[in-house]
A and B are shown apart, each in its own frame.
Chain A
Amino acid sequence: MMQLPTASAESTFVMTIAAFLVAPLALAGIALVNTGLGRSRSAAQSFLGSLLLSAVGILSCVLTSGLWHHFGQYPAIAYTAGAFSALPTHDQLAMAFTLIAAGIAPLIPWGAGADRLRLSSGIVIAALIGGVGIPLLTGATWDGGWLAQLGTHFGLGDGLIDYAGSGIIQAFGGITALAMLWVTGSRKGKFPKPGLATAIPGHQVIYVLFGAFLSLVGWLGLNAAGALINSQASLYAMPVIALNTVLMAVTALVATFIATRVRFGKPDASLCANGWLAGLVASSAGTQLFTPVQAILIGAIAGFVTPLLVEVLELALSIDDPSGAIPVHLVSGLLGLFCAGLFSAKPGQLIAQLVGMSVLLGLFLPVLYLLFLGINRILPFRVDADGERLGMDMHELGGSAYPEFVIHRDDTYR
């Protein structure tokens, strides 16, 4: 693990609060957004799945990352009381921050697979993300691996900059979602043979908007903790981080509001929530490195592009992504990575960011796709047609999230 300077007591306190009391709210926010954007007949399965997949991601990360990396370096911490707290503070915090990443990333493909991805398949995907993907990526960047050393070895700026996980958490989750969507396919009735794609609106837009709002609080903690733990940012950088995070979210929201108002005649609430999230996602690469004007510009791009991409994915590319994982997490995550290089004054920084993007797109996407194709043959990702018609709640849990309410017409078959 990269040896960082000893943290002061104040810095440790702020890191702990930000990483472990505030950042998990991002997880809650994404879970709410995922649930709200799915159908009512799959709501309980969606929210339970979010909790379960986070748990599986974190546990897998502890087991595998611990075995090959952290616990390998400090074997006593797994078995000896007090050994963990005897580690250097930065090592303790870095290990725990990695677990937060392993908890958040599985929620992204889970939301994209709403209404047809089986819980057992979600667990396998979460285990792969938390157990293999996140340890490899955090090892290469946050823990001082080859991507972090691109600057030292190849003269590319400061190496890959991604302090709070625009690429490592968000774009990686988006890439997993894309590979999963190609293997799983669309919801039944989404793309009828003749005609346009069918609109399947989310069942609870208040969850979606509240989830987006909650995510802002979570992202403030995520960005603050990421900057303190994974770069050498001081506590004096906290106001800039908070300001830029908020600026990116609000600008993205306004941009999406305007784009949907102009495009559709009326603003779209769920797309506005997605725009807000896209701004947050783009902020995570290097929040403290941007000026407020740059933050506004990046937020505006993320917010403007998101609703247009949602439309392109659905109408032109036939990708059924109910939670908007690809425009919000994949594209905005890559945008954040790119902008962290674009606005850097260091020579070669943009190239280092491109190398990071190349690893995500060129290595992880094909490998995950091939892996998912293989797993899908043994453990089908997609629920059977009857389960999809009944809803995931009844099919997988045996009870509905809203038992008092009846019920929608069956719009899956037209």
Chain B
Amino acid sequence: MRIAGIFLLLAGFALTVAALHLMPDLTRRAIFIVCGVGVECIGLGLLVRAHMEMRA
């Protein structure tokens, strides 16, 4: 779960940077950047969850 969390954080960042360079207009760029941040939030959630399980 930790590895998946780290992977999703990095993937979200990659999505954000890719959106900047690949999307032609502001609307599509904005949608993809929001999605990138969303993916990062899921990754963060997984990392937090992984560390909660470690305690248990």
Q: How far is the CB of A352 from chain B (nearest CB, A)?
A: 9
In the complex, whether A308 has a CB less than 8 A from a CB of chain B is no
Given A154-B20, A318-B55, do A362 and B10 touch, yes or no (CB 8 Å)? yes
Q: Which residue of A318, A348, A355, A361 contacts B26 across the interface (Cβ within 8 Å)? A: A348
CB–CB B9/A361 < 8 A? yes
In the complex, whether A359 has a CB less than 8 A from a CB of chain B is yes
CB–CB A351/B30 < 8 A? yes
| CA of A254 to CA of B7, assembled, Å | 40
Q: How far is the CB of A28 from chain B (nearest CB, A)?
A: 32
| CA of A347 to CA of B26, assembled, Å | 9
Given A182-B47, A318-B51, A348-B26, do A366 and B9 touch, yes or no (CB 8 Å)? yes
CB–CB A355/B12 < 8 A? no
| CA of A357 to CA of B12, assembled, Å | 11
In the complex, whether A358 has a CB less than 8 A from a CB of chain B is yes
- Residues from 5 to 56 in B contacting A, C-beta threshold 8 Å: 6, 9-14, 16, 20, 26, 29-30, 33-34, 36-37, 40-41, 43-44, 47-48, 51-52, 55
| CA of A21 to CA of B46, assembled, Å | 43
Residue of A155, A347, A351 ringed by the most chain B CB atoms within 10 A: A351
Q: Which residues from B are CB-within-8-Å of A150? A: 20
CB–CB B6/A182 < 8 A? no
- Counting contact residues on chain A (CB < 8 A from B), the size range is 20 to 34
Residue of A155, A354, A355, A358 ringed by the most chain B CB atoms within 10 A: A358
Closest to A357 in B: B37
In the complex, whether A369 has a CB less than 8 A from a CB of chain B is yes
| CA of A354 to CA of B11, assembled, Å | 15
CB–CB B29/A351 < 8 A? yes
CB–CB B12/A358 < 8 A? yes
CB–CB A359/B13 < 8 A? yes
In the complex, whether A33 has a CB less than 8 A from a CB of chain B is no
Given A150-B20, A182-B51, A355-B20, do A361 and B44 touch, yes or no (CB 8 Å)? yes
CB–CB A366/B10 < 8 A? yes
CB–CB B44/A355 < 8 A? no
CB–CB B33/A355 < 8 A? yes
Residue of A182, A317, A319, A365 ringed by the most chain B CB atoms within 10 A: A365
Q: Which residues from A are CB-within-8-Å of B48? A: 317, 319
CB–CB A354/B51 < 8 A? no
User: What are the interface flags for A339-377 relative to B under an 8 Å C-beta threshold, 1 for contact and 0 otherwise?
Assistant: 000000001100100110111011101100110000000
CB–CB B30/A348 < 8 A? yes
| CA of A365 to CA of B13, assembled, Å | 11
Q: Which residues from A are CB-within-8-Å of B10? A: 362-363, 366
Closest to A183 in B: B51
Given A351-B30, A362-B40, do A191 and B55 touch, yes or no (CB 8 Å)? yes
Given A318-B52, A362-B9, do A354 and B37 touch, yes or no (CB 8 Å)? yes
| CA of A366 to CA of B36, assembled, Å | 15
Q: Which residues from B are CB-within-8-Å of A362? A: 9-14, 16, 36-37, 40, 43
| CA of A191 to CA of B55, assembled, Å | 8
Q: Which residues from B are CB-within-8-Å of A318? A: 51-52, 55
Q: Which residues from A are CB-within-8-Å of B11? A: 362
| CA of A366 to CA of B34, assembled, Å | 19
Q: Which residues from B are CB-within-8-Å of A354? A: 16, 33-34, 37
Closest to B12 in A: A362
CB–CB A355/B16 < 8 A? yes
CB–CB A317/B52 < 8 A? yes
CB–CB B16/A366 < 8 A? no
| CA of A345 to CA of B48, assembled, Å | 35
CB–CB A361/B47 < 8 A? no
Q: Which residues from B are CB-within-8-Å of A182? A: 47, 51
User: What are the interface flags for A253-291 relative to B under an 8 Å C-beta threshold, 1 for contact and 0 otherwise?
Assistant: 000000000000000000000000000000000000000
Q: How far is the CB of B1 from chain A (nearest CB, A)?
A: 13
Q: How far is the CB of A222 from chain B (nearest CB, A)?
A: 27
Q: Which residues from B are CB-within-8-Å of A358? A: 12-13, 16, 33, 36-37, 40
Q: How far is the CB of A310 from chain B (nearest CB, A)?
A: 15
Give 6 pairs: A residue, B residue, CB < 8 Å, sorted on A.
A156-B29, A186-B55, A318-B52, A358-B16, A362-B13, A365-B9
